[in-house]
Structure 1
Amino acid sequence: MADPRLFLEALSALSGCNVQATDGPSLLNPQDFVNIVALTEFYKQEGLQELDYPSVGTLSLQDLDEEDIYNSPPALAEGPATAGPEETLRTRVKINPEDFFHHEFDYDFTNVQDVGATFLRGDERYIRPCGWNRVALRVVQKYDGGDGWLGEGKDAWPVSFCCHNMDGDHGVILTHGGSPNDEPSFLDAAAASVFTGAMRGRGLYSTPDIKMAEKYCKTFKSKVDGKRYKVVLQNRINPEKRLKCQQEEVWLVYVPEGCSDVQTRTIVQESIRPYGLLLKQV
């Protein structure tokens, strides 16, 4: 297993927070991190500059675009720190690694090659993250309804990977299913697409293709070993909430116009669940 401090650096890069270890209770759980990542990208699409998140406060979306902000905080454990100006401005978030990670289910795909192999999750093809090292997140028995969403059978949710800085041109909706098409705002947008020729997706982007995720992932330089890493969240996506786009490897969770911050956060929580933190040395 890699140095545990590296995992906290990766979470810092993903969230824009200064993530540190604690022996006490975690301030955020894995679902909170995927919420922050997804909402950050969505609000940036909407042209907003800040994200307010419970237990964290206000996060600047402008700062997340600066390369320096991806550099990890120098102190990843409790105690005195000699943080630089970027780190001291970032919100400090403490997590308990024992409660947050589930190392029993870690899997190192670094030297794995799936040539000719086909894997399925929820009747959808699963492209395993070959070349990456996956650190498992503690999500078993954390959601109502059991752990079927995390399995391999027909009731399992398909696998998706979070993307960073995808614009609306990627999200031209081709098909839709499940509850989003019952929303009046969704129907209005669909009707408008008859005149525009395409409906650019307003919502939360992810992809079932790790190669596309790698093109749109975050990177950071580790203060633990001085190396650069790419980092991606591996998730399961609710098939009833996911829309397939014209670009085959792009999936969208639609967010209707007029949703409040609470409603938007609820859509994320009902649609995307994380279970792995992926790292790859650049």
Structure 2
Amino acid sequence: MVDVGLCLEALSALSGCSVQQSGGASLLGPQDFVNIVALRQFYKREGLQQLEYPSLGSLSLRDETVNLDMNDLYSAPPALQGPEPDAKTVIHINPGDFFDRHYDYDFSNVKDGEQRFVRGNEPYFRPCGWRRVALKVSGQYDDGSDVWLGTGSQAWPVSYQGLHMDGSLILTRRKGSEEDGGLDEVAQSLMDTSAFGRGVYSTPDVLLAEKYCKTFKSKIDGKTYKVLLQNRISPSKRKVCQRDRVWVVYVPQDHSQVQTKALVQESVRPYGLLLKEA
């Protein structure tokens, strides 16, 4: 079982905040971490300097930089910051009401080979090589149903989200070519929202997500880890990009921050924190 302290370090790396253990109720839930990870990238691309988030206040984006060089995808951007210029926002969570450890799964030595899995009529590429810490999300949504989390045709497809995932995903390869790193008609269509679009990006391919993941060095064991979020994505909200294996939830131009947050919440739901030694 993954150490709780290591899980908190992983959440800190993803959110840019200082996530600390609490004996009381968690300040934020798993859905909030998806929102923060997705929205920090979205608003940075929009050129905004602050992310307003309920219960946390204003989180600064001014010092965050994202290096799109494929050889430096693991570089760590400065943390989201609270009112003090050099102080990380502190988030207290109770592991007992945040994680669902009965559903943890160790994929670190699993090799699926030719086996095929499906979630919501979409191929499910299991996170082989990773350890998954389950998040407590069952029964946590207003509809009261966990169909989205199941394995049947009404379930939502699985997507993976790394810290550096945004519209640059469609610029790293030519359309239809995984071998050629040049740009083609995709670069010419950046102004077309159907091709690039302002939105929240993820991928069903854990290998692609790994290239855009966050890494951190643990103070607990001194090892360096990669971290991703494993989500389910609404099939009605998700659109397929020009680049294969890239999905986006489009955000309309006239959406406020409140509306954008609501859109993310109804479109992308987390259920696993993934960790792997770098």
1:46-101 deviation per Cα after TM superposition (whole angstroms, max 9, x unaligned):
1222211010112222444473757xxxxxxxxxxxxxx99x60001000000000
In 1, the alpha carbon distance for the partners of 2:242 and 2:267 equals 20
In 1, the alpha carbon distance for the partners of 2:3 and 2:63 equals 27
The equivalent residue for 1:98 is 96
The equivalent residue for 1:186 is none
Deviation at 1:163, TM superposition (A): 2.9
RMSD: 2.2
Judge which range, 56-65 or 92-101, deviates more: 56-65
Structure 1: gaps spanning 5 or more residues? 71-84, 175-192
Corresponding residue to 2:228 among 228, 232, 247: 232
Query: Contact (CA 8 Å) 2:109, 2:128: kept in 1 or not?
Result: yes
Query: Contact (CA 8 Å) 1:121, 1:154: kept in 2 or not?
Result: yes
In 2, the alpha carbon distance for the partners of 1:127 and 1:99 equals 28
The residue identity in structure 1 corresponding to 2:16 is: G
Aligned residues: 247
Change (3 A) 1:26 1:222: same
Is 1:151 aligned to residue 130 of structure 2? no
Deviation at 1:167, TM superposition (A): 4.4
Deviation at 1:201, TM superposition (A): 1.7
Structure 2: gaps spanning 5 or more residues? 66-74, 176-188
1:105-157 deviation per Cα after TM superposition (whole angstroms, max 9, x unaligned):
00000000000000000000000000000000000111133000000000000
Change (3 A) 1:50 1:150: same
Q: Identity rate of aligned residues, in percent?
A: 60
In terms of fraction of residues, the more helix-rich structure is 1
The residue identity in structure 2 corresponding to 1:23 is: G
The equivalent residue for 1:108 is 106
Change (3 A) 1:157 1:59: same
Query: Contact (CA 8 Å) 1:163, 1:207: kept in 2 or not?
Result: no
In 2, the alpha carbon distance for the partners of 1:64 and 1:280 equals 24
The equivalent residue for 2:45 is 45
In 2, the alpha carbon distance for the partners of 1:198 and 1:34 equals 24
The equivalent residue for 1:275 is 271
Displaced runs of 4 or more, over 2 A: 60-70, 163-172, 195-199
In 2, the alpha carbon distance for the partners of 1:151 and 1:108 equals 19
The residue identity in structure 2 corresponding to 1:129 is: P
1:164-218 deviation per Cα after TM superposition (whole angstroms, max 9, x unaligned):
334435359x9xxxxxxxxxxxxxxxxxx7x969631210000000001100011
The equivalent residue for 2:29 is 29
1:213-262 deviation per Cα after TM superposition (whole angstroms, max 9, x unaligned):
10001111111111100000000000000000111110000001011000
Is 1:67 aligned to residue 85 of structure 2? no
In 2, the alpha carbon distance for the partners of 1:31 and 1:197 equals 26
